[in-house]
Amino acid sequence: MACIVMKFGGTSMAGTERIRRVAQIVKRQADGGHEVAVVVSAMAGETDRLVQFCREANPLFDPAEYDVVVASGEQVTSGLLAMTLQAIGASARSWMGWQLPLHTDTAHGKARIGSIDQGNLIASMASGQIAVIPGFQGMTADRRLSTLGRGGSDTSAVAVAAAIKADRCDIYTDVDGVYTTDPRIVSRARKLKMVTYEEMLELASVGAKVLQTRSVGLAMKEGVRVQVLSSFVEDGAPPADSLPGTMIVSDEELAAAQQEDPTMERQLITGIAHDKNEAKITLTRVPDEPGAVARIFGPLADANINVDMIVQNVGRDRGETDVTFTAPRSDLTRCTEILENQREAIGYNRMITDSRIAKISVVGVGMRSHAGIAADMFKALSGRKINIQAITTSEIKVSVLIDEDETELAVRVLHTAYGLDAD
């Protein structure tokens, strides 16, 4: 018998018919003798509808009241799932964030989870009752409703799993696992049995939108085993204990699994991700002196613009350098306005922007012990005449900027080069 947290997103909860399907998946786990908690999102589209109401009511809405409004979406689906479970013969009840309570800080609209009072929850689950918990919501110290920010339900699920020391946190999505790359681009992409937290974090940060980054970070910190799997199973659904998703685990667990099962072959590279949502900005002939870089990125940070890659070339001329960085495309206009205003203060010569770029990243814990991964990447790309505009690396990731038009070609070339293609 295991203790399992299951999480279902907005697409899975969109309407009473889909909720019935979710109820069947949940009941199958409960019938398998497991203790089950379910974390649910609002119906797809509902949070957008509620946010729109808030914008109409007050463009500068009070985040505390915003939370009162938008938290209602998950309240509705959790009540509906509890009664649907009852309809098919399962014992179930809903637990609002304030009923547990799930404590958060007071950063309304993007609150962080502090702790969860798990006592009542554990007792209820031990008695055989399925706990249905609205994702995305919690309660502040002054007993007001709070929400965790968009996509926060993944984080709720991981936090609940950590609090009740669940054996597993199953995140049901509209894909059936984590793939070596986007299967819409590479038909021979393979589903991964296991990835590590760090790999998942790097993949999530570069465009693989399977899980919310925050939830992966929390799972890593708390050691929660997370499984990604699909809620859209066919009628011949698998039995409860052989679920075919991707497990997200620690380095140690991965190593142990590989020792135990030698057929579970691991490539050096785990996955290849792409991201078309960034734009590139280059400032030429920036004075190569202490404080120059701070004068560029300080104002951008003040404007809440999330700068990603930063590349500073060695100056060709003594005392000057070029600075290139990327930022979200949606922020490009604000970005250039700010930098125009700072032209005097920074002292650059020209500003060159390009929004037709893509970031391609190769990710894998195998990089730690193997040299030459980056070199392989550059060789494979240059073999197809794909020009690399910038490079950054982390311990387990290499990212390059290329022309947007070459995105799919680059992903396919690298997928083959690293031996990831399925047979």
Q: Which position among 96, 206, 360, 373 is part of the footprint of its own copies (CB under 8 A)? A: 96
Structure tokens at 373: 């991964």
Name which position in 8, 66, 136, 348 contacts its own copies (CB under 8 A).
Answer: 66
Q: What's the N-to-C CA distance of the chain in angstroms?
A: 36
For its own copies, the binding residue among 24, 86, 118, 336 (CB under 8 A) is 86
Check residue 54 for interaction with its own copies (CB under 8 A): yes
Q: Return the number of the residue (39 or 228) whose C-beta is nearest its own copies.
A: 39
Q: Which of 94, 146, 153, 155 binds its own copies (CB under 8 A)?
A: 94
Q: What tokens does 271 get?
A: 């996955």
Give the count of beta carbons closer than 10 Å to the beta carbon of residue 56.
9
21 binds its own copies (CB under 8 A): no
- Our CB check for its own copies shows the closer of 20 and 193 to be 20
Give the contact letters, 139-178, x = binds to its own copies (CB under 8 A), - = no: ----xxx---------------------------------
Tokens of 409: 């070609």
Of 195-254, binders to its own copies (CB under 8 A) are none
CB of 73 to its own copies, least distance (A): 8
What is the torsional sign of CA 125, 128, 129, 130? positive
CA dihedral 52, 55, 58, 62 (to 10 degrees): 90
Order of strands across the sheet with 390-394?
A: 271-275, 357-363, 397-403, 390-394
Nearest to 193 by CA among 211, 208, 209, 180: 180
Is residue 65 near its own copies by the rule CB under 8 A? yes
Residue of the chain from 11, 24, 99, 336 that contacts its own copies (CB under 8 A): 99
Say if residues 146 and 139 touch (Cβ distance below 8 Å). yes
Is residue 38 within 8 Å of 11, Cβ to Cβ?
no
* Smallest separation, CB 15 to its own copies (Å): 8
Nearer to its own copies, 46 or 331 (CB): 46
60 interacts with its own copies by CB under 8 A: yes
Q: Which is nearer to its own copies, 145 or 157 (CB)?
A: 145
Query: Which positions from 261 through 300 interact with its own copies, judged by CB under 8 A?
Result: none
Residue 314, both tokens:
């060695």
Which residue in 5, 22, 71, 254 binds its own copies (CB under 8 A)?
Answer: 71
Query: How many whole angstroms separate alpha carbon 218 and alpha carbon 202?
Result: 14
Among 21, 28, 93, 334, binds its own copies (CB under 8 A): 93
Tokens of 389: 């505009």
DSSP 17-58: HHHHHHHHHHHHHHHTT-EEEEEEPPPTTHHHHHHHHHHHH-
Q: What is each CA distance from 282 to 19, 67, 222, 327, in whole angstroms?
A: 49, 39, 40, 11
Among the residue ranges 75-83, 182-190, 213-221, 257-265, the one whose residues contact its own copies (CB under 8 A): 75-83
Does residue 37 belong to the site contacting its own copies (CB under 8 A)? no
**Binding piece for its own copies, criterion CB under 8 A, among 48-56, 206-214, 245-253, 350-358:** 48-56
Residues that bind its own copies (CB under 8 A): 16-17, 19-20, 50, 53-54, 56-62, 64-69, 71-73, 75-76, 78-80, 82-84, 86-87, 93-94, 96, 98-99, 143-145
